[in-house]
């Protein structure tokens, strides 16, 4: 595995550009233009991101999203819906070879070591628990599936992957505060009773950093923790960097022509 990685903090951007930047980094890495990369970022406005194959018509109350100021975007990664509000999102782009296992489960386990070390630095013991329930659900965090990080049996961080050529993109969300009420107000349910049940189950299964650590968490502390965790656990040497001119160009094109369009976001 290449040990010198870029660390890029792109700060706060809208949903379309955020997803476009991840894909631009993936494409540039595949073409040999950039090293492996750990990126951290945030979202404004708050955004509901959907898995690549998720049905927006079936799962999302688009009018309610508009009303509450929640943007909706489709990801190129798998999994279910995630609400990006009061959280830090990370993305990892790397070739799978020479250290990072090629199998989906293996690469999750491998990269999770970095996340586990990051949480430890923040003062939290977490473990990687394989999920048993494989039923598809609209809300990603409702289920602890394949290699999710848990603390006392509750889910902490969710991750999803895309594979292209010999490279992977994994992104995940590290929630700081609970946003279950907003999330379950913008997802569709067959009845208010089922909405209530799903929301209660989610609240029981889901943990957010602020609640467990019992103190406020500074965004910079979280970013530094991630960087140190991946360094300690995986032996990665990070250097601060920004996006290349090619990545910036590609991401703006993808935001305009793909992620900002109904053709993409409403494809299912």
Closest approach of other proteins to the CB of residue 98, in Å: 9
Closest approach of other proteins to the CB of residue 123, in Å: 28
Nearest CB to other proteins, comparing residues 31 and 97: 97
Residues that bind other proteins (CB under 8 A): 51-53, 76-79, 97, 102-106, 108, 134, 136, 145-146, 159-165, 168
Q: Which residues contact 201 (CB under 8 A, 6 or more apart)?
A: 142
What is the CA angle 77-10-242, rounded to 5? 110
Count of beta carbons in the 10 Å neighbourhood of residue 204? 10
- DSSP-derived 3-state class of residue 76: coil
The token pair at 12 is 């706060």
Nearest CB to other proteins, comparing residues 132 and 215: 132
Active site residues: 140
Distance, in Å, from the CA atom of 209 to the CA atom of 217, rounded to the nearest integer, reads: 8
Instruction: Report whether 167 contacts 92 (CB < 8 A).
Output: no
**C-alpha of 244 from chain center:** 22
Closest approach of other proteins to the CB of residue 92, in Å: 13
Nearest CB to other proteins, comparing residues 163 and 188: 163
Nearest CB to other proteins, comparing residues 64 and 268: 268
Q: SS3 breakdown of the chain: % helix, strand, coil, rounded to 5?
A: 40, 25, 30
Closest approach of other proteins to the CB of residue 146, in Å: 5
Nearest CB to other proteins, comparing residues 62 and 146: 146
The token pair at 134 is 């494989």
Enumerate the β-bridge partners of residue 13: 43
Q: Which residues contact 98 (CB under 8 A, 6 or more apart)?
A: 1, 2
Closest approach of other proteins to the CB of residue 31, in Å: 14
């Amino acid at each position: 595995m290449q040990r010198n990685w870029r660390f890029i903090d792109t700060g706060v951007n809208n949903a379309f550009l955020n997803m476009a930047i991840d894909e631009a980094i993936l494409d540039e890495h595949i073409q040999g233009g950039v090293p492996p990369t750990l990126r951290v970022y945030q979202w404004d406005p708050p955004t509901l991101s959907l898995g690549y194959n998720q049905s927006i018509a079936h799962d999302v109350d688009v009018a309610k999203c508009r009303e509450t100021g929640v943007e909706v975007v489709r990801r190129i990664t798998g999994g279910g819906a995630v609400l990006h509000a009061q959280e830090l999102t990370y993305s990892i782009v790397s070739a799978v070879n020479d250290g990072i296992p090629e199998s989906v489960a293996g690469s999750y386990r491998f990269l999770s070591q970095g996340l586990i070390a990051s949480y430890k630095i923040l003062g939290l013991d977490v473990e990687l628990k394989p999920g048993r329930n494989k039923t598809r659900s609209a809300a990603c965090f409702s289920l602890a599936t394949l290699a999710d990080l848990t603390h006392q049996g509750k889910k902490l961080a969710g991750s999803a992957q895309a594979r292209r050529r010999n490279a992977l993109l994994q992104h995940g969300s590290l929630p700081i505060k609970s946003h279950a009420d907003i999330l379950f107000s913008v997802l569709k349910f067959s009845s208010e009773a089922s909405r209530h049940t799903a929301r209660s189950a989610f609240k029981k299964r889901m943990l957010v950093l602020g609640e467990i650590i019992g103190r406020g968490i500074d965004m910079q502390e979280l970013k530094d923790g991630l960087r140190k965790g991946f360094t300690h656990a995986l032996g990665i040497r990070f250097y601060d960097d920004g996006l290349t001119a090619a990545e910036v160009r590609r991401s703006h094109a993808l935001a305009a022509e793909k992620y900002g369009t109904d053709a993409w976001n409403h494809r299912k």
